[in-house]
Amino acid sequence: MRIPLTPHGTRELILFGGAFVLAAIALWQWHPAAAIVPAALFLFVLSFFRDPERPLPGGSEVAVAPADGLVVDIDEVDEPHFIGGKALRVGIYLSVFNVHVNRAPLDGAITGVRYTEGAFHDVRKPECITDNEANLVGFSGPRGVFAVRQIAGLVARRIIFPFQDGAHVTRGQRMGMIKFGSRTELFVPANAGVEVLVTLGQKVKGAATPMLRYPS
């Protein structure tokens, strides 16, 4: 069975995956049981960079999850950069076992990208939101403005976002990833009148889980 993999993991798959395979082969010749650990690590690296196809739910009025993971925040915050005021924020925590490819929640054109260097706190801690390395991307589309923030975590040390200002994305389209444990947030204007379709603690899948529904 073929496992679909993201091209953003090619380097790690060659370096780490290759090293674990060679270690497993060498240890197998010494003692088969000793090969279990490097073999398991190889499978972990392979699993981390998986990139499955996902069916899109609903129509253009439905914003889909921008990442796999656990919904940890549904609240109202200030987002002055791209929303320009109060915003509804839905935060998703990604463990190292989740798919880490990010997806566009809606159709839109990129209006700006704000990358900030920072710390690498555990993304389950509140200070990660203000202190960690992050990439905030603004969009404008048929449903108005929205934003997605990629936040690096304790293990994650690289945020990938391969688009520039003015590029267009479509709902569910792949748009980079965060490597090894992270957090992804979706922002929409608080007055957009959206219906929240997820609950705290719910597991979601990028591009496949409906997050918000805009009024018709």
Residue-wise pLDDT tens digits, 17-45: 788 888 888 888 888 888 888 888 888 88
- Domain co-membership, 143 together with 74: yes
CB proximity list for 140: less than 8 A, separation 6 or greater: 108, 109, 111
Residue 126 dihedral angles phi and psi, to the nearest 5°: -55, -35
Report the CATH number that the domain containing residue 125 is assigned in CATH: 2.70.70
Question: Is 133 found in the same domain as 72?
Answer: yes
The answer, as to whether pTM is greater than 0.85, is yes
Phi, psi of 158 (to 5 degrees): -155, 125
Cα→Cα distances 60→10, 105, 187, 215, Å:
33, 10, 17, 11
The verdict on 68 and 14 lying in the same domain is: no
List, for residues 181-193, the tens digit of each pLDDT value: 689 999 999 999 9
Look up 95 and say whether it is catalytic.
Answer: no
Q: 151 and 79 in one domain?
A: yes
Domain for residue 93, yes or no?
yes
12 and 88 in a single domain? The answer is no
The residue segments making up the domain with residue 142 are 62-213
Catalytic residue among 60, 95, 140, 182: 182
Domain count, the chain: 2
| Same domain, residue pair 21 and 82 | no
Helix (H) or strand (E) holding 38: helix 36-48
Domain presence at residue 53? no
Is residue 174 domain-shared with residue 93, that is, in the same domain? Answer: yes
37 and 67 in a common domain: no
